[in-house]
């Protein structure tokens, strides 16, 4: 079973099962008997290990909480507005003193071309 540490554990040493190093995405591929034993370990009421399913649920819940945060939503919208202005050609959005660019209508473009 794959377990994920709730702290910065990089290696698991067990006298019966041997040494295990951290794998992809911070998880450990452990024998079922060892993972069952480690998953029950708590320190001061806080679990030290979580399964893939528990990790997925925890990450999903934290992402949902982050998305509900008004400050995070405001920051995301501000970033989108900034990117839209840059793509549109208005220049960087944080140039407060810059003169905004204006688009000419077809009639204004024709009259400007006729006088030039």
Assess if residue 105 is contained within a domain: no
Assess if residue 29 is contained within a domain: yes
Is the predicted pLDDT of residue 41 greater than 70, yes or no?
yes
Is the predicted pLDDT of residue 103 greater than 80, yes or no?
no
Between residues 14 and 114, the one the model is more confident about: 14
Mean pLDDT of the chain: 84
Assess if residue 42 is contained within a domain: yes
Assess if residue 109 is contained within a domain: no
- 21 token code pair: 């190093």
Q: Do 56 and 64 meet the contact criterion of CB atoms below 8 Å apart?
A: no
pLDDT of residue 96: 55
At 43, the pLDDT band (50, 70, 90 cuts) reads: very high
pLDDT of residue 104: 60
Assess if residue 59 is contained within a domain: yes
Is the predicted pLDDT of residue 111 greater than 90, yes or no?
no
- Which tens digit of pLDDT belongs to each residue from 49-102? 999 999 999 999 999 988 888 888 889 899 999 999 999 887 665 555 555 556
Domain count, the chain: 1
The whole domain housing 66 covers 1-89
Assess if residue 112 is contained within a domain: no
Assess if residue 98 is contained within a domain: no
User: Using CA atoms, how far apart are residues 36 and 41, in angstroms rounded to an integer?
Assistant: 9
């Amino acid at each position: 079973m794959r377990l994920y540490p709730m702290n910065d554990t990089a290696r698991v040493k067990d006298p019966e099962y041997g040494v295990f190093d951290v794998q992809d995405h911070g998880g450990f591929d452990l024998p079922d008997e060892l993972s069952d034993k480690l998953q029950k370990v708590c320190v001061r009421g806080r679990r030290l290990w979580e399964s893939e399913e528990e990790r997925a649920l925890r990450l999903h819940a934290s992402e949902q909480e982050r998305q509900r945060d008004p400050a995070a939503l405001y920051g995301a919208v501000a970033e989108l507005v900034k990117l839209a202005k840059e793509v549109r050609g208005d220049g960087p959005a944080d140039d407060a003193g810059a003169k905004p660019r204006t688009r000419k209508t077809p009639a204004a473009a024709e009259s400007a071309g006729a006088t030039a």
